[in-house]
Amino acid sequence: MKIAVVGTGYVGLVTGTCFAEVGIDVTCIDIDQKKIDNLRHGILPIYEPGLEEMVSRNVEAGRLHFSTNLGEAIKDCDVAFIAVGTPPGEDGSADLKYVLAVARGIGENMNSYGVIVTKSTVPVGTAAKVRRELEQALGKRGVQIDFDVASNPEFLKEGAAIDDFLKPDRIVVGVSSERAEEVMRKLYKPFLLNGHPIIFMDIPSAEMTKYAANSMLATKISFMNDIANLCEIMGADVNMVRKGIGSDARIGTKFIYPGIGYGGSCFPKDVKALIKTAAENGYDMQVLKAVESVNDAQKEVLFNKVRKHFGGDLKGKKLALWGLSFKPKTDDMREAPSLVIIEKLLAEGCTVSAYDPVAMPEARHTLHDTITYAKDQYDAVIDADALLVVTEWPEFRAPNFEVVARLMKNKVVFDGRNIYEATEMEQAGFAYHCIGIRTHHQEPA
Ligand code: UDX
C-alpha cells in the first residue's frame, strides 16, 4: 500500500513512521521546507522516545519519504491522512483552515480512488466539510474521481506514542462506505495481529469519540484534584483514598492521580472545543465547564502553598523548580502548569532557577531569560529558599536528599506530584508540602 501523511507535527510524524515500520510506503508532507530538510537529515522537530531511531531506520530502508510537494506525493495513494494542526481560535473552537486547505490540495492533485482520513482532532462534522472541499476541487478540474472520507482519531500519549500506535488499546475508524472500511482494515491489519480491536462506526461518532475520551480523562483528573483539596481540609490522605477507590474495577487505578492540573496539547484544547461545540448547538456542558475551572485553579495550588508558607511575602526569595514540561518524557511546554507557577512567582518578586532534563530549550522560547536554567537538578537548588517539584521525571524520584539539604538555604519542598513520602521527608528534616495530604507543615488549603 502507498499512503501520504500531511502534516509532520507530533501526530503526523508518529503515524507516518509507524506505518513505514510495518512495511507500508509512506510520504510525510509539510509546507515547512526547513522542517522537511531537517527530517531528511534525521533531525526531528519534537522529542519522542524511540522516534528518531525509527525515522532513520525507515528512511534508510526506502519506505519513509519526506516532501513539501503534496501534488506529487498524493498520486496513486490508497490513503491520505490529514494530520495538520487545529489550533484553538480566540473563542476556543478548533480552527479548521489548515485541514480544509489540505483537503483542497488533495482534491486538486489526486488521480485515482483514495480514502481521505482526518487524523487531527476535529469537531463533529469536519469530515463532511473535507468532503465538500474535495468535491469542489475536483469539480473545478472537471474530473470524476471516486473518493471516500473517513475519521480516524489518534489516542497517542506523548512520551509513549510509538507504543500506543504499535499496540493500540483500540483503533476507531468512522466510515460511510464498505469500500473505505475495507481499505482501512487492510491498512491497519499489521497492528491487529495481537488481538487489538478495530472499531468501525459512522463518521460523526468517530469524531465525537476522540473528544469524549479526552474529556472523560480530564474529568477524572479534575475530580481527583477536587477530592485531594477536600482531603487536605478534612485531614484525609488522598493517596489512601485513591487506592481505596481505584481497586473498584468500575473506577480503575489509572488517571486518578492528583497533581497541579492537566496540561499538554490535547486535554485543555479538546475540553474547550467540546464546550464550544455544545454551546453553538444550544447545549450546556456543565460537567466540562467545572472540569476546566477546577483545572485552572489547580495550576495555582502549589504557588498558593508557597505563598502561605512564607507568610504572604515572597519578595527576594529564590525558588528552585524541578521539571518544566507538562509531563515527563516530553519537551512539550504547551499549557504546562510550570508556566503559571513561574509567572506568579516572578510577579511576587522571586527569582527562579529551574532544571528539566529535556524541556529547557523549548521552555526558553516562552520564558526567555526571566529564569535561570540550571545545569542539573542539584545546581538548581543551590541557596534556594524552597524546592518545587513540578514534573515527575524519573530522576527526581529518588534524589540524594542529603546533598539537596546541604545545598539549599531552607529545607522546604513543595511536591506537586506526590512523589515523596511525607514521613521520610519530615524525618530528613524537610518542611514538606504535597497535594491532598495534610502534612505537619501544611495547613489545610
Ligand atoms: C492525552 C491522551 O492521553 C491521549 O490519548 C490523547 O490522544 C492526547 O492527550 P497527553 O496529552 O500526551 O495525551 O498526556 P497524558 O499522559 O494523557 O497526560 C495529560 C495530563 O494529565 C498531564 O498534564 C498529566 O500530568 C495529567 N495527569 C495525568 C494527571 O494530573 N493525573 C493523572 O492521573 C494522569
Residues 54 and 147 in one domain: yes
In a domain, 144, yes or no: yes
In tens, the pLDDT along 349-372 reads 999 999 999 999 999 999 999 999
Q: What is the mean pLDDT of residues 206-233?
A: 97
Domain count of the fold of the chain:
3
CB 154 less than 6 A from any atom of ligand 1: yes
In a domain, 438, yes or no: no
Residues 279 and 322 in one domain: no
In a domain, 426, yes or no: yes
CB 435 less than 6 A from any atom of ligand 1: no
Residues 143 and 240 in one domain: no
pLDDT at residue 443 is higher than 60 = no
Residues 336 and 292 in one domain: no
Query: Which residue is it, cell 496539547?
Result: 265
Q: Are 293 and 230 in contact (CB under 8 A)?
A: no
In a domain, 441, yes or no: no
Residues 61 and 194 in one domain: yes
Domain boundaries, position 56: 2-201
Residues 285 and 423 in one domain: no
Query: For ligand 1, what atom is nearest to the CA of residue 264?
Result: 11
Of the chain, the end-to-end C-alpha distance in Å amounts to: 57
Going from the Cα of 178 to the center of ligand 1, the distance in angstroms, rounded, reads 34
In a domain, 193, yes or no: yes
Opening angle at CA 240, ends 237 and 242, nearest 5: 105
Q: What is the reported pLDDT for 182?
A: 98
Q: Are 199 and 181 in contact (CB under 8 A)?
A: no
Out of 201, 220, 253, a domain closes at 201
Residues 147 and 64 in one domain: yes
pTM of the model: 0.93
Query: Rg (Cα) of the chain, in Å, rounded?
Result: 24
Tell me what the pLDDT averaged over the chain comes to.
95
- Identify which of 46, 48, 157 to mutate to test ligand 1's pocket (most ligand atoms within 8 A of the CB): 157
Out of 167, 201, 235, a domain closes at 201
Residues 109 and 242 in one domain: no
Find the farthest-apart pair of alpha carbons in the chain and give their distance in angstroms, rounded. 78
In tens, the pLDDT along 54-100 reads 999 999 999 999 999 999 999 999 999 999 998 877 787 888 999 99
Could you write out the DSSP letters of every residue in 57-74? Answer: HHHHTT-EEEES-HHHHH
- Identify which of 325, 327, 333, 417 to mutate to test ligand 1's pocket (most ligand atoms within 8 A of the CB): 327
In a domain, 368, yes or no: yes
- Identify which of 262, 326, 339 to mutate to test ligand 1's pocket (most ligand atoms within 8 A of the CB): 262
Going from the Cα of 262 to the center of ligand 1, the distance in angstroms, rounded, reads 7
Q: Ligand 1 atom 8: the closest Cα is on which residue? A: 266
Active site residues: 266
CB 430 less than 6 A from any atom of ligand 1: no
Which residues contact residue 35 at a Cβ distance below 8 angstroms, ignoring those fewer than 6 apart? 8, 45
Among 191, 176, 67, residue whose Cα is nearest residue 128: 176
Q: Please, which pLDDT band fits residue 342 given cuts at 50, 70 and 90?
A: very high
Residues 355 and 261 in one domain: no
CB 121 less than 6 A from any atom of ligand 1: no
pLDDT at residue 444 is higher than 70 = no
In tens, the pLDDT along 398-442 reads 999 999 999 999 999 999 999 999 999 999 999 999 999 987 766
Residues 41 and 81 in one domain: yes
Out of 178, 201, 224, a domain closes at 201
Among 390, 212, 228, residue whose Cα is nearest residue 294: 228
In a domain, 439, yes or no: no
CB 221 less than 6 A from any atom of ligand 1: yes
Residues 270 and 303 in one domain: no
- Pairing state between β 114-118 and 79-82: parallel
CB 295 less than 6 A from any atom of ligand 1: no
SS (HEC) of 122-176? CCCCHHHHHHHHHHHHHHHHCCCCCEEEEECCCCCCCCCHHHHHHCCCCEEEECC
CATH code (residue 366): 3.40.50.720
In a domain, 225, yes or no: yes
Residues 46 and 133 in one domain: yes
CB 267 less than 6 A from any atom of ligand 1: yes
Q: Ligand 1 atom 23: the closest Cα is on which residue? A: 262
